[in-house]
Structure 1
C-alpha cells in the first residue's frame, strides 16, 4: 500500500494527565509515515513541559505554543495551514487511537479518491463506557445532517486538498457545533463522507468537553451547543423548505427536527398529513433528502407523542392503533408493556 504522509493535529489545553497516552497512541500506530502537530492553547498546567521533556528529540512532532487562548477551532485551523500531509487527522489531547486506525483510514481514502473524509465509530471511556455508532454510507450521512452532526468529528481523517482548494476551515466564531457547521459546508461543496464501522478512536468522557456538562456525576446536554445545533438544523432543512415556503409550519418543522414533541392528538393527525405532503414535495424537487429518511424521521416524531404521555388510557391506546402505520415501531416487549399500561390506566 502507498504510504502518503498523514498529519495529525492535536489541539491541547490543560491535558497533562493524558497527553502522553494521546501522542504515544500515534507513535505506536501500524502506519509509520506521520507528522504530529501539537497546538497548545495557552495551557496553565504542565502540558507543554511534558511534551517538550519527552518528545523534543522526536522529529515527527512539532509543537506550536499560542500566545492567546482562542479555542480549539483556531488551533485546528493553525494545524490545517501548517500540515504537510496528504491527509489530515484529528486527535483531542485527552483521547487516543486504536493501533491500526490510521492505516485503515488511509487505505479507504487511497482506494476511494472521491471521498473528502473518512471517520470511524467511537469507543467511549470515563463517565460512559459504550460504543457510539454513526451512519456509514454517504447517502445516509447526507440525510443525517438534518438532525445533527452526522459523523464522529474527533475520529475524522480529511483529504487535505479538499479542505485547502475549497478554503474550508473551522468557523472560529463558534465555540460549539463548529464541527457540524464545517461538515455542512463540506457537503455543500460536494464532499463525500464515509464511516468505517469500527470503534478505532477512544473518546474519554470526563464531563469537561464543550458538548457536555457534568452535574452530580451525570452527563447532561450542553444547552448552548443545542441552540446552535438547532439553528444549523433549520439551515439544512432550507435545502427542502424555508420560512417562505407554503409548506412551512414552524410547529410541525420543530416536531420533525425533534426540537419539541406534539402534545395534542388533533395536531398529531395534522402533522402526519403535513409530513406526507413534505415527502411528496421532496420527491418533486429531486430529493434533497431520501424519502425513506424523511418517512422514518416523521414516524419517530409520531412515536414521540405517545412516549411523552404521562398517564396512559384506553383513549391513548385507540389513538396509537389509529395512527399505527405512521408511527415508528416499538420493541415488541416494550410495545406489549405500553398496551398493558394503557388498559390499566397506568403512568408511563
Structure 2
C-alpha cells in the first residue's frame, strides 16, 4: 500500500433518492480517490439501479444479503476490510462532499506523524429550514490545522457539547482502525462516537476547520429518528472500560463525557415515552447531581411534564451546557 491512497466506503440501504448525489460528489474531487467501495445492506428499493448507472472502474459494489444482520457498523466493516488503500474515507449515502475534501485531507497529511490515525474537516448541517456550521470548525476558523490527542479530543468534545467529528467528514488510517477493532457491530446507534474513542486511545487526530462536507439532517429514515427508550447508548460500555483503565484528569474527563452522552441520548428520546432507567445506568451522580435529577424526572414524572422539562430545561444550553438544535448534536 502506498502512503497516500484513499478508498471511500459508502454504506447503502434504501437511499435511492440520495446515492447518486453522494457518488457524484466523490467523482468530482479535485484529488481523485483510488477506490469507491459501495456496500449495499440488502436494499429493497432501486438504490442498486442508481449505482449501476455510474460507469467508473474505481467503483466496487459489495452486497450484504441477510436482512436480519443489517446495520451501519457491519456494513462499514465490510468496506474497510475489502479496501486496499491506506486511508479510508467514510461517506454516508445521503451526504456529500465538497470537491476539495480529499485535497484538504492531503494537506493535513503533510502534518501527519506515525501516530496519526484520523483526519477530519469541518462540515455544514443542511436542515429543511436552513444551513448551520458545525461547532468545532466554527471555533477554529482562524486557527488553521489542529492536532488532537485522546485527552484534548475528549476535552474539546465536552467544551463544545458535541462530538467534533462527523462520519461523512472523516478519513481513517485503515491499519489503525483494524488494530482498534473496527466498528462495533453490537451498536444499534452511536457506533461512530464509540469508534472514535477506541481509535484515538491508540492514535492522534489532525483537523482542518475548512468546511468540506455536507450533512443532510432532514432525510427520512435516519437513525436519529429511531432512538429507543430502553437501551443504553453503546458508547457507555466503552467509556466504562476506558474509565477503569484511567486515573486522574483523564478519568474525570471520561466520567464527565459518560454523563454528557447519557443525557444527550435521553434528551433525544421520543417525547411520547418515559426514559427507562437503563439508559442512565452507571451515571456518575457526584459529578452531575443536577443532570441526574433531570434524568430521574424524565423517568418518573408524567409525560406532559416531561415535555415541559425538555422545552424549558434540556434545550437551555446556558443552564446545563447542552447545545441547542442545529449546533451539531449527532445521534446518527
The Cα shift of 1:71 comes to 1.1
Counterpart in the other structure of 1:318: none
Q: 1:161 aligns with which of 169, 175, 184?
A: 175
- Contact kept? 2:95, 2:168, Cα under 8 Å: no
Secondary structure in structure 2 of the residue aligned to 1:80: helix
Match of 2:98 in 1: 98
> Does residue 194 of structure 1 match 2:206?
yes
Q: CA deviation at 1:115?
A: 1.1
Q: Partner of 1:123: helix, strand, or coil?
A: strand
Q: 1:137: how far off? A: 3.8
Q: 1:60 and 2:58 equivalent? A: yes
Q: Is the 8 A contact 2:9 2:76 kept in 1?
A: yes
Residues 190, 233 of structure 2: 8 Å contact kept: no
| Matched-pair contact (CA < 8 Å) for 1:117–1:194 | yes
Deviations 1:136-158 (A, max 9, x none): 54142143467764522331101
Secondary structure of the equivalent of 1:43? coil
Residue of structure 1 in register with 2:148 after alignment: 138
Distance 1:175 1:121, change over 3 A: same
Distance 1:162 1:63, change over 3 A: same
Shift of 1:204: 0.7
Rounded to whole Å, the distance in 2 between the matches of 1:182 and 1:10 is 17
> 1: CA distance between counterparts of 2:33 and 2:221?
32
Using a 3 Å threshold, how does the CA distance of structure 1 residues 225 and 198 change in structure 2: closer, same or farther? farther
Please give the alpha-carbon distance, in whole angstroms, between the structure 1 residues aligned to 2:93 and 2:41.
Answer: 11
CA distance in 2, matches of 1:75, 1:255: 27
Is 1:227 aligned to 2:233, yes or no? yes
Equivalent position of 2:196 in the other structure:
183
Give runs of aligned pairs for residues 32-47 of structure 1, distance below 5 A: 32-47=32-47
Aligned equivalent of 1:204, options 216, 219, 224 = 216
Q: Map 1:60-139 onto structure 2 (within 5 A).
A: 60-69=58-67, 70-113=70-113, 114-127=115-128, 129-134=131-136, 136-139=146-149
Instruction: State the distance in 2 between where 1:34 and 1:86 align.
Output: 10
CA 1:83–1:110 in structure 2 vs 1: closer, same or farther (change >3 Å)?
farther
Other-structure match for 1:17: 17
* Contact residue 181 and residue 232 of structure 1 kept, 8 A: yes
Question: Are residues 82 and 213 of structure 1, via their aligned partners in 2, closer, same or farther at CA, if it must alter by over 3 Å?
Answer: same
The answer for unaligned runs of 5 or more in structure 2 is 138-145, 264-284, 295-316, 320-332
Measure how far apart 1:171 and its partner are.
0.9
Q: Which has the higher contact order (CA 8 A, sep 6+)?
A: 2
Aligned partners of 2:86, 2:20: CA distance in 1, in Å? Answer: 25
The aligned counterpart of 1:172 is 185
Q: Contact conserved, 2:239 with 2:258, CA < 8 A, in 1?
A: no
Q: How many residues in Structure 1 have an aligned counterpart in Structure 2? A: 254
**Cα offset, 1:72, TM superposition:** 1.3
TM-align CA RMSD: 3.7
| Structure 1 residue matching 2:136: 3-state secondary structure | coil
- 1:112 deviates by 0.9
Please tell me whether Structure 1 or Structure 2 has the larger radius of gyration of its CA atoms.
Answer: 1
Residues 176 and 224 in structure 1, CA contact (< 8 A), matched pair in contact too: no
User: Once the two structures are superposed, what CA deviation does each residue of 1:216-261 show, in whole Å capped at 9, x if it has no partner?
Assistant: xxxxx7656763344444444444469xxxx99xxxx67993456x
Partners in 1 of 2:5 and 2:165 — Cα distance?
23
TM-score after normalising by structure 2? 0.65
TM-score of the pair, normalised by structure 1: 0.62
Q: Secondary structure at the match of 1:227?
A: coil
